[in-house]
Structure 1
Amino acid sequence: MNSVVSKPEKRRRNSDLTRVNIIAVATEEFADKGFAGARVDEIATKTHTTKRMIYYYFTDKEGLYKSVLEHAYSVIRAQERELDLEGLNPTAAVRALAELTFDHHEQHPNFIRLVANENMLRGEHIEKSELLSGLGAPAADLVSQILHDGQQSGAFRSDVDALDIHMLISSYCVFRIANRYTFKALFDRDLTDSTHREHLRTMLGDMVVAFLTSKAPS
């Protein structure tokens, strides 16, 4: 017996797909042109919808931009929640987290560009988002648990906190993507070239582990 999808459910599914498509296209536009440079009319054309329809879903341009940021941050937070650390010692766990961040930033270069653009705007739109204000906690909580286990066992130094480690990992991963073109121009090395990938990925893990397992200065 074939199941019949009700009209309200079909409309809801179509609405969800439309929103997903708008977010995907808007992500490209905002990442490429920034908040000021992106045009809602262009996003409407590329999504085969109308400006009026976009505003129906997102209220205005700022609402659309905020939704793009929320989606971008939600993706990496979801990947962190799904990271399986069961049975891993703290050293292996922090390396796994570092490698996950490395992989995510490589696979989502628009995330880096969006973050750079929002920093140019001094975090104006992130500060207005209730969703984003709570999205930092899961990342910090995950690092905190790994750090706590390592410090309790005596494997990790005790003079650092979760945000120190989060910053250490993020700065490396963001630099690799955000500065690939200037680095290539200055040093003739493409940081995203596949021939360097495993070396750089391993180096990140080694760096974080080496720092955490080193002795704190007296």
Structure 2
Amino acid sequence: MPTRNPAPAGPARRERDPAATQDSLLAAAVAEFARAGFAGARVDEIAARAGVNKQLVYHYWGSKQGLYQVALASVYARIREKERQLSMAELGPIQAMEVLVGFSFDYLAEHPEFIAMLADENRNKGEHLRESGPLQEMHMPFVEMLQATLARGVAAGVFRDDYDAIDLYISIAGISYFFFSNNYTLSAIFGRQLGSRPALAQRRRHVIAFTLNALRPDAASPAKRAKPRKLST
């Protein structure tokens, strides 16, 4: 009796990797939320981008809102992690501030999804951020690092002594964020291609010089610099 050949083996069944699946879903979520915003994003589309069943979204995060909060936290966590790697404490205060401002500009240039998600969350009046304690906590180490750099600069006599670290951070972020978030309209208004490489390089130099000049001790307000007038007798 002839020997029967065994049936060919089917495709190997891949074992599930929950961590990899979550990473794929999170990357897909960031892309979709950046494209369509929280209101316009669809769980079906996120799952399709990740190549998984959409029920896994609810399994891991409970809801679209839960996934959005995690996605929002992830884009903040990435920039905070990169900032911690700048090793500002190992640099002189002026060089440290130059590195920070340059990094902030470059990061926004390379991560339009970060700008898009922040713009959408502001349209939502920050309601998802307010509900996320870890997001607030993750910013404190950076604020402390910036405060320490300011203090070193003041002690060395190269920075003015009346700047608050949070105010300074908002200014540093703002001068770069506005440039990128409004790049198309600014290009149209001024008739320049502000997204071109030469324009980006010029703007990068400007925001670094602008910040360092503002920090110089002789940049203090006229009222602060003015010596008290003697009263005539």
Task: Return the TM-score normalized by structure 1.
Answer: 0.90
Partner of 1:122: 125
Partner of 1:51: 54
TM alignment of 1:55-74, pairs within 5 A: 55-74=58-77
Which whole-Å deviations, capped at 9, do the CAs of 1:121-142 have from their partners, x for residues lacking one? 1110011112102122122112
Give the C-alpha shift of residue 83 in structure 1.
Answer: 0.5
Contact 1:177 1:191 in 2 (8 A): no
Which whole-Å deviations, capped at 9, do the CAs of 1:173-213 have from their partners, x for residues lacking one? 11121001111221222332112222211111101100000
- The structure in which a higher percent of residues are helix is 1
Q: Does 1:29 align with 2:32?
A: yes
TM alignment of 1:61-210, pairs within 5 A: 61-85=64-88, 87-210=90-213
Moved over 3 A (4+): none
Q: Distance in 2 between matches of 1:56 and 1:181?
A: 39
Q: Distance in 2 between matches of 1:130 and 1:17?
A: 25
Q: Distance in 2 between matches of 1:86 and 1:162?
A: 15
Q: Distance in 2 between matches of 1:185 and 1:119?
A: 24
* Equivalent residue letter for 1:208: T
Bigger shift: residues 65-74 or 137-146: 137-146
Partner of 1:215: 219
How high is the sequence identity, in percent, across the aligned residues?
Answer: 35
Q: Distance in 2 between matches of 1:45 and 1:88?
A: 46
The two structures, once aligned, show a CA RMSD in angstroms of 1.4
* Equivalent residue letter for 1:60: S
Contact 1:176 1:192 in 2 (8 A): no
* Equivalent residue letter for 1:216: A
Task: Return the TM-score normalized by structure 2.
Answer: 0.85
* Equivalent residue letter for 1:26: A
Q: Distance in 1 between matches of 2:65 and 2:96?
A: 38
Secondary structure of the structure 2 residue equivalent to 1:189: coil
Which whole-Å deviations, capped at 9, do the CAs of 1:141-165 have from their partners, x for residues lacking one? 1210110101112211111110121
Q: How many residue pairs are counted as aligned between the two chains? A: 207
Q: What stretches of structure 2 of length at least 5 have no aligned partner?
A: 1-14, 225-233
Give the C-alpha shift of residue 82 in structure 1.
Answer: 0.5
Q: Distance in 2 between matches of 1:179 and 1:17?
A: 35
Q: Distance in 2 between matches of 1:147 and 1:192?
A: 32
Contact 2:88 2:149 in 1 (8 A): no
Q: Higher relative contact order by CA 8 Å / sep ≥ 6: 1 or 2?
A: 1
Give the C-alpha shift of residue 62 in structure 1.
Answer: 0.4
Larger Rg: 2
Give the C-alpha shift of residue 86 in structure 1.
Answer: 5.1
Bigger shift: residues 39-48 or 93-102: 39-48
Q: Distance in 1 between matches of 2:134 and 2:88?
A: 26
Q: What stretches of structure 1 of length at least 5 have no aligned partner?
A: 1-9
